[in-house]
Amino acid sequence: MPFGRSYVLNRFDFRSPQTGEAEVRYLDADFRVLRAGAFVRCAVTGVPIPLEELKYWSVEHQEAYAGPEAVAQRLYPDRAKPQP
User: Which run of H or of E encompasses 49?
Assistant: strand 48-50
Q: Kindly report, residue by residue over 11-51, the tens digit of the pLDDT.
A: 555 555 678 999 999 999 999 999 999 999 999 999 999 99
Q: 48 or 9, which is more confident?
A: 48
State which residues form the domain around 42.
1-84
Number of structural domains (the chain) is 1
- 11-20: long-range contacts, CB 8 A cutoff, minimum separation 24: 11/51, 11/52, 12/52, 13/52, 14/52, 16/50, 16/51, 16/52
CA-angle at 74, arms to 51 and 50, nearest 5°: 10
